Copies of this chain bind each other. A is one copy, B any other.
Amino acid sequence: MSILIKGVRLNGETTDIFIEGNRITEIGDRLGVEAEEVISGDGMAAIPSFVNGHTHAAMTLLRGYADDMPLKEWLETKIWVIEAHMTEEDVYWGAKLACLEMIKTGTTFFNDMYWHWQGTARAVQEMGIRGAISAVFIDLFNAQKAGEQIALNEELYAAREAFGPRVIFTLGPHAIYTVSEEALQWCAAFARAKGLLIHFHLAESEEETNRCLADHGTRPVRYLEQIGFLGPHLIACHCVWLNDEDMDILKAHEVRVVHNPTSNMKLAVGGVFPYPQLRKRGLITALGTDGCASNNNLDMLESAKIASLLQKFHTGDPVVMPAPEALEMITTQGARAFGLESGLIEKGRWGDIALVDLNHPQLTPHFHLASDLIYAANGSCIDTLICDGRILMRGGRVEGEEEIMAKARERAFDLVKRAAG
């Protein structure tokens, strides 16, 4: 398979981009090569497609089901009740809907943690994007449960290749307040032995810190260091309750951190991702949407705008997290966090590219691409999406989108009915 994008705006110039197999093999003016697929880039800008650093894809099924509730009541009376009734088939359709929404809004990679791993893996395999997928690992400090979770993860790891190279198996220990020390240590050892990433919720609430102080006599980050959990394999999501020492420790271990501003604000978790301090220390900082029950969408451009606004508001400095940095968080920084060969459009990288329709009021007059994308546009400005050298969307249309929405709708309403009784 080969794709030629003709006459597209790239870094302020008009050029051609040639993709062979799943990689960009040439970039230049009027390449004059033959390609199986030719895309006119007229009126469009090529950008690296986006990286969603933290989500629970199948929670699209719960979008708008229960909003504006106190956190504990929301989890206990709504989310957990529904999740207890979810089947792999539900997760499959929820994840398909999530992939569809991500494709429509320019995202080709997401980092996921959810139940029924295979449901999400099948959806990713079929939809053509990339997913780092972890099963939720919760043992509630029970050794038997821990053993079951370990067995499940070993089994999923062994079977992972059946879903092809775009599905990346990762470990998903949920958080320090739901996973035992022994299980966290097993995860770290398994990740190191097999070269896997660990997807983890860290420092999301003040309660988490207080409980850790009470239980372990130290704050979460230092506790995790003490048990040997930290390392560049760790994708630490949220990180809104960190102090200077925590950040120094995270940097010393080259942990990758993922900010989820919309979810943090919507759930009112209180803390704020200390972006200027993390950036000053040189940590890799990516951005995520979190699941659709707490966002309620998967639009990375919207999340990047909200991230930048929140930093400016919180620091009182309108210069913090300027548009180009916010755009980097969802492209190059995201790719670095997950070791992806995307995030930049250059020869040798993966053909993971989004084409932005510049004939859009929110991109007019168009002085600066990064400013327009982050502050003015949203995911609806994406016209064409290519992942792994395959065209997943053209003219804003994705093959089979009506069926995916219809089936996901049907599963969601059926699920709620099943959960009710």
Chain A interface (Cβ < 8 Å from any Cβ of B): 60-61, 63-65, 67-71, 74, 97, 100-101, 104, 262, 264-268, 270, 292, 295-297, 299, 302, 306, 308-310, 312-313, 315-319, 322-323, 359, 361-362, 364-368, 371-372, 375-378, 380, 401-402, 405, 408-409, 411-413, 416
Of the candidates B97, B268, B292, B377, which one forms a contact with A317 in the assembled complex, judged by CB atoms under 8 Å apart?
B268
Shortest CB distance A332–B (Å): 18
Which residues from B are CB-within-8-Å of A267? 312, 318
Asked if B315 contacts A63 (CB within 8 A), the reply is no
Q: Which of B299, B375, B380, B412 is within 8 Å of A64, CB to CB? A: B375
Complex CA distance for A380 and B412, rounded to whole angstroms: 24
Copy count, this protein chain: 2
Residues of B within 8 A of A367 (CB): 63-65, 412, 416
Given A262-B309, A266-B312, A361-B104, the answer on whether A371 and B67 have CB atoms closer than 8 Å is: yes
Residue from A68, A264, A322 having most chain B Cβ neighbours under 10 A: A68
Q: Which of B104, B264, B309, B416 contacts A266 (CB 8 A)?
A: B309
Q: Report whether B408 and A266 are in contact in the complex, using a CB–CB cutoff of 8 Å.
A: no
Residue pair A412, B365 in contact (C-beta under 8 Å): yes
> Smallest distance from the beta carbon of A410 to chain B beta carbons, Å?
8
**B residues within 8 A CB of A295?**
375-376
Tell me whether A316 and B270 are in contact in the complex, defined as CB-CB below 8 angstroms, given that A296-B371, A362-B101, A376-B63 are known contacts.
Answer: yes
User: Out of B64, B265, B364, B368, which one reaches A67, CB within 8 Å?
Assistant: B368
